[in-house]
Structure 1
Amino acid sequence: MTQSPASPRLSASTEQAGLPSLPPPKERRRLREAKPLTQAQLAALVGVTRETVRSWESGRTEPRGSRRAAYAKLLESLARPAAPAPDAPPPDEQQPEPAPPATPEAAFDALCAHTAPALLRQAYALTGHRALASESVERAFQLAWQRWPEVAVDRDPAGWVRAAAHEYALSPWHRFRPGLRHPDTPPADASDRAVLDVLLGLPPAQRRTLMLYDGVGLDLPETAAETEASTPAAASRLLSARGTLAERLADLGLADRPEALTERLTALGRAERLAVPRPARVRTASERRARLWTRAAIAFTALIVTATALTLRTAPTHYEPPVPSGKAISGVPPRMGPGPLTPEDETLKQKLRSAPHPGPERLTPDPY
């Protein structure tokens, strides 16, 4: 049986058992995000919980029975190309499918256009500042373009850019910037304001863990890996953040409906005016920044070389031992310590002692 290019090879055990075939976990997630669909939306279509879909996409569990058949049928429909419109020309007259990006610029532009809007909303939820959110995403894409040979072959380029944007947005050095010391204008929606206030009250590590797990849809090991923490530490941060949100946002029903938190985090910042970076402008700024840092490094290296050459030019070329004590220097006799008095000095001493003192008499202590 010939398989479609979007479907990977089936496992032998699945074929022998007569069960519907499923692509690998990474492919399942890719097919879902290509539509795009959230884990909650796909769970509603299959009739399971969001946590179950998360486990299927991480490979921790596999669907069984009727759910496996429904999940396999849904993935097959997601992998199938869209049907042509009723007034579309015949297949032989249709335009060929667009080829994958042939240049690094085209591939980078496609990545930027596909992931930038979601990253802007995530950065806004992490910082509460519109300008900082736009700056974080733009700087992350500039860094990605500088390291494009590394990012292009990464197994998850969008995750690479997301990690860079989150780290820049949560950098502690932003607290010293005068323009970011004051809070930004809050969202117009009351529920968005409440959610954003609680999020900004969380520690940065809990805020990022909650965003990755409930907002992006990563599983716990992937969340721990992206936040550079152990899995138990990530689980503890997630539970603490969820508990705080459920306690302070009891009217939103986050404790009863876990998917409500995902919906809130996904919708947060959707109504805000967040400037989406232009790929061409990002590439130009990245190249300009790279040239600036290269010139600064060259200038600093030249300064070090010049200082080293000047030191070698002016430094003494031979060893000069220190002058021993008691030796004349340039004909000047050395200063000697006190020694025996000469006859002249003895005469002067006796004369000074015998002559009366012209000043006031010395006070002597009275023994009585």
Structure 2
Amino acid sequence: MTQSPATPLPPPEERRRLREAGSLTQAQVAARVGVSKATVRAWESGRTTPDGQKAEAYAKLLASLADEPVEQVRQDGTPAVAAGTAAVRTADPMADTERVPLPDTGPDPHPSPRPEPASEPLTPDQAFDALYAFCAPGLVRQAYVLTGRRELAREAVERAFQLAWQRWPEVAVDRDPAGWVRAAAYEYALSPWHRFRPRYRHPEPPPAELRDRTLLNVILKLPPPHRRTLLLYDGVGLGLPETAAETEATTPATASRLLYARQAVASRLPDLADPEKLQRRLGELASTERLRAARPLAVRTGGERRAQFWTRAAIAFTVTLIGATALTLRTAPTQYEPPVAPGETVRGVPPRAAPGPLSYEQLELREKLRQAAESGPERLVPEPG
């Protein structure tokens, strides 16, 4: 039974606000609580809820951040930096919130006017480009580990982002846009229909280093669900509940797949029996490969052209179907005409005799009929004229 922490936990949005107000990164919070950075990200997004001792430590850390004095609050509602420190945010809006503390040099005798924070929101193109720049390079390497094919890895990532651009109103409000795109890329990369494509029937050149080639061969021999679970948990660093949710499986089934995959790798590579070494090797597996993703503008325009092509194809098919229906209605008969039944041969009827001399049987029959006609008073016998 899950026990609630003695210190109440704030809502997910408040958790992130308190962390940013305390000038802490997700990695620093994870180190203090004793969890991974992906777990902290899941707690702040609301996808999972901490429990047990981790929840108590996390709640106490947030409570200490809430008790710290804050200098002021900006007009847009975001907290300002605490007194005595300043922070610089990374330029990537999709990356983790990294802050670098700067020393306090005291009041400036000639203070410069403080720039106003940018209030204009990002356009859909800018938000998509930021998401692509943040996720695409890592996703290409992950797809390469899943499939062992460089071209298929790039194609899977491009198709996933094209799908995300088509459904951008849905992806933009998702709690984890990177996870949405990652799930779409994994589904496309692991599709069984690629084996029937001519360009993917022959294997690609393996990695140059022997240890990378051996590890990749072991991973590719795993079933696709086990391969995906191993990459998400040990490669990406997701927690077990997040991995189960992304692979659409229960938590016990995900744990069984993870144990099976680790045992399979350890049986072939005993030096990777330690999960930490396996995680490090998975991160280094595709780092030496030249895997470059396309530019975000090319992905967006390619997705738009693809959508236009299928839209025009659907319109052309609909017009063709309507024309064929109209032609059929125009040339079809207005009333029902029953078909003429084919002729059938009637058996048992004697053939008609042709003109000519009578046979012996016919002569006997005629003579018998003549004699029978003369023996009765009721019959009339013709007289010769």
TM over 0.5: yes
Q: Is the counterpart of residue 209 in structure 1 residue 209 in structure 2?
A: no
Using structure 1 for the length normalisation, give the TM-score: 0.72
Q: Is the counterpart of residue 259 in structure 1 residue 276 in structure 2?
A: yes
Instruction: Report the CA distance between 1:129 and its aligned residue.
Output: 1.1
In 1, the alpha carbon distance for the partners of 2:134 and 2:121 equals 14
Instruction: Report the CA distance between 1:282 and its aligned residue.
Output: 0.8
Pair 1:339–1:52, CA change in 2 (3 A): closer
Q: Is the 8 A contact 2:226 2:260 kept in 1?
A: yes
Q: Is the counterpart of residue 139 in structure 1 residue 159 in structure 2?
A: yes
Aligned match of 2:204: 184
Aligned match of 2:150: 130
Structure 1 residues 317-332: aligned runs within 5 Å: 317-323=334-340
SS in 2 for 1:186: coil
More helix by share: 1
- Residue identity opposite 1:82 in structure 2: V
Q: Is the counterpart of residue 278 in structure 1 residue 290 in structure 2?
A: no
Q: Which runs of 5+ in 2 are unaligned?
A: 69-86, 88-95, 362-385
Q: Is the 8 A contact 1:123 1:166 kept in 2?
A: yes
Instruction: Report the CA distance between 1:42 and its aligned residue.
Output: 6.8
Aligned match of 2:100: 82
Q: Is the 8 A contact 1:50 1:259 kept in 2?
A: no
Q: Is the 8 A contact 1:210 1:242 kept in 2?
A: yes
What whole-Å deviation, never above 9, does each CA across 1:199-230 have from its counterpart, x for those lacking one? 11111111011111222222223322222223
- Residue identity opposite 2:235 in structure 1: G
Pair 1:286–1:27, CA change in 2 (3 A): farther
- Residue identity opposite 1:111 in structure 2: L
- Residue identity opposite 1:108 in structure 2: F
In 2, the alpha carbon distance for the partners of 1:100 and 1:189 equals 49
Q: Is the 8 A contact 1:55 1:219 kept in 2?
A: no
In 1, the alpha carbon distance for the partners of 2:238 and 2:40 equals 8
In 1, the alpha carbon distance for the partners of 2:256 and 2:138 equals 26
Instruction: Report the CA distance between 1:150 and its aligned residue.
Output: 1.4
Q: Is the counterpart of residue 24 in structure 1 residue 44 in structure 2?
A: no
Using structure 2 for the length normalisation, give the TM-score: 0.69
Aligned match of 1:46: 32
Pair 1:188–1:341, CA change in 2 (3 A): closer
Residue correspondences, number:
321
Q: Is the counterpart of residue 59 in structure 1 residue 13 in structure 2?
A: no
Instruction: Report the CA distance between 1:65 and its aligned residue.
Output: 7.2
| Identity %, equivalent residues | 54
Structure 1 residues 217-228: aligned runs within 5 Å: 217-228=237-248
Structure 1 residues 96-115: aligned runs within 5 Å: 97=117, 101-115=121-135
SS in 2 for 1:59: coil
SS in 2 for 1:319: coil
Pair 1:283–1:79, CA change in 2 (3 A): closer
Q: Is the 8 A contact 1:198 1:245 kept in 2?
A: yes
Instruction: Report the CA distance between 1:251 and its aligned residue.
Output: 1.9
Q: Is the 8 A contact 1:207 1:241 kept in 2?
A: yes
Aligned match of 1:119: 139
- Residue identity opposite 2:12 in structure 1: P
- Residue identity opposite 2:286 in structure 1: G
Q: Which of 216, 226, 237 is the matching residue for 2:257? A: 237
In 1, the alpha carbon distance for the partners of 2:237 and 2:34 equals 16
What whole-Å deviation, never above 9, does each CA across 1:232-255 have from its counterpart, x for those lacking one? 322221111111112212123x33
Q: Is the 8 A contact 2:24 2:99 kept in 1?
A: no
In 1, the alpha carbon distance for the partners of 2:26 and 2:104 equals 25
Q: CA RMSD in A?
A: 4.2
In 2, the alpha carbon distance for the partners of 1:72 and 1:261 equals 36
Pair 1:118–1:320, CA change in 2 (3 A): same
Q: Is the counterpart of residue 199 in structure 1 residue 219 in structure 2?
A: yes
In 1, the alpha carbon distance for the partners of 2:335 and 2:121 equals 66
Pair 1:315–1:195, CA change in 2 (3 A): same
Pair 1:346–1:27, CA change in 2 (3 A): farther
Instruction: Report the CA distance between 1:115 and its aligned residue.
Output: 0.8
SS in 2 for 1:263: helix
Aligned match of 1:299: 316
Aligned match of 1:339: 349
In 1, the alpha carbon distance for the partners of 2:286 and 2:196 equals 25
- Residue identity opposite 1:59 in structure 2: T
Mean alpha-carbon deviation: is it higher for 289-298 or for 78-87?
78-87
Larger radius of gyration: 2
Pair 1:220–1:349, CA change in 2 (3 A): farther
Pair 1:93–1:250, CA change in 2 (3 A): farther
Q: Is the 8 A contact 2:229 2:254 kept in 1?
A: yes
